[in-house]
């Protein structure tokens, strides 16, 4: 659920190998589950083409986070307790900024299956090929490649109206160097900078803030997020997005991002 549940769209599970394969703009990652492993058991891993990049993996999977401490802090009511019990071990990822922004632009009025399919079309058409033990993998396209791409070529990847947003955002990143500046911004300034990009609204901005920039107090309020707030916590469905965001941030005392992932999976699978 951490890899395939909507935080990221760059992972595939290979049942014959019992492993996950992921890709970024510059590497392929393999996470293999040993037979019989679950939860606390070790994962076998490797990165390609540069092997043994544990610093990347540690940052990406946020292995330096005090996970038990976060779980203890967010278990404030029967709903979140049931969510954690039903779907244990969910984690937050910390992904590359460019890839996260460009991927979530594709999520606008879209579903996970379609987003994944579009991204793989983009990788095949614009991404670099990496060979791993005789198998071909394609990386997420470099930002400058998407910025220079013809709109007609992007539309061939079934982006629809999102093609102009993707190309525009890629150019915006290059022109403003936002991918270098945003790590020094506080939450409000980062959100304001993101919303200046055409196609980025409150929800997409919040996805980037929590799944790339590490703002643990933020959780994106899509239809499922709003649903668990109104059903479990009795918030008024007509409440403004900003007010809902403030409420869940205050309630979970800075860990709404973590609580939101458990509650998202819980209500989505009820």
Per-residue pLDDT tens over the stretch 246-258: 999 999 999 999 9
Same domain for 120 and 188, yes or no, is yes
Write down the pTM of the prediction.
0.94
Domain check: are 256 and 178 in the same one? no
Is 37 within a domain?
no
136 exposure class (CB count in 10 Å sphere: 0-12, 13-18, 19+):
exposed
Question: Where does the pLDDT of residue 35 fall: very low under 50, low under 70, confident under 90, or very high at 90 and above?
Answer: confident
How many other C-beta atoms are found inside a 10 Å radius of the C-beta of residue 160? 15
d(CA 158, CA 5): 22
Predicted confidence (pLDDT) per residue in 196-251, tens digit: 999 999 999 999 999 999 999 999 999 999 999 999 999 999 999 999 999 999 99
Residue 246 lies in a domain: yes
Domain finish residue from 172, 189, 211: 211
CATH number assigned to the domain comprising residue 137: 1.10.340.30
Does residue 34 lie in a domain region?
Answer: no
- At 40 the pLDDT is 63
User: Are 105 and 207 in the same domain?
Assistant: yes
Do 146 and 182 reside in the same domain of the chain?
Answer: yes
8 A C-beta contact, residue 222 and residue 104: no
**Predicted local distance difference test score (pLDDT) of residue 38:** 61
Coil, helix or strand at residue 111? coil
Which residue range is the domain that position 258 belongs to?
67-87+215-270
Into how many domains does the chain fold? 2
25 within domain boundaries: no
Distances 270 to 53, 83, 84, 193, 263 between C-alpha atoms, Å: 38, 10, 14, 36, 10
- Contacts of 9 by beta carbon, 8 Å cutoff, 6+ apart: 103, 106, 112, 115, 116, 119
How confident is the model over 173-185, as pLDDT tens digits? 999 999 999 999 9
Residue 39 predicted with pLDDT over 70: no
What are residue 22's DSSP bridge partners?
Answer: 11, 29
């Amino acid at each position: 659920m951490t890899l395939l549940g909507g935080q990221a769209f760059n992972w595939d599970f290979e049942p014959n190998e019992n492993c996950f394969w992921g890709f970024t703009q510059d590497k392929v990652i393999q996470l293999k589950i040993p037979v019989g492993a679950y939860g606390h058991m070790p994962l076998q891993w490797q990165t390609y083409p540069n092997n043994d990049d544990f610093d990347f993996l540690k940052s990406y999977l946020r292995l330096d986070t005090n996970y038990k401490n976060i779980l203890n802090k967010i278990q404030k009511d029967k709903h979140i307790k049931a969510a954690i019990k039903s779907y244990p071990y969910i984690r937050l990822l910390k992904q590359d900024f460019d890839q996260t922004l460009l991927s979530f632009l594709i999520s606008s009025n879209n579903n996970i299956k379609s987003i994944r399919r579009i991204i793989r079309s983009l990788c095949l058409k614009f991404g670099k090929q990496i060979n791993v033990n005789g198998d071909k993998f394609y990386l997420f396209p470099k930002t400058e490649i998407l910025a220079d791409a013809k709109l007609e070529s992007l539309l061939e990847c079934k982006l629809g109206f999102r093609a102009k947003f993707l190309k525009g955002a890629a150019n915006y990143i290059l022109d403003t160097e936002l991918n270098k500046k945003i790590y020094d911004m506080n939450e409000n300034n980062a959100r304001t900078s993101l919303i200046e990009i055409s196609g980025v609204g409150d929800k997409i901005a919040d996805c980037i803030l929590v799944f790339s920039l590490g703002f643990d107090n933020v959780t994106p309020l899509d239809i499922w997020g709003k649903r668990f707030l109104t059903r479990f916590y009795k918030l008024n469905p007509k409440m403004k997005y900003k007010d809902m965001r403030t409420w869940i941030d205050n309630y979970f005392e800075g860990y709404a991002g973590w609580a939101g992932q458990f509650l998202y999976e819980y209500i989505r699978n009820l």
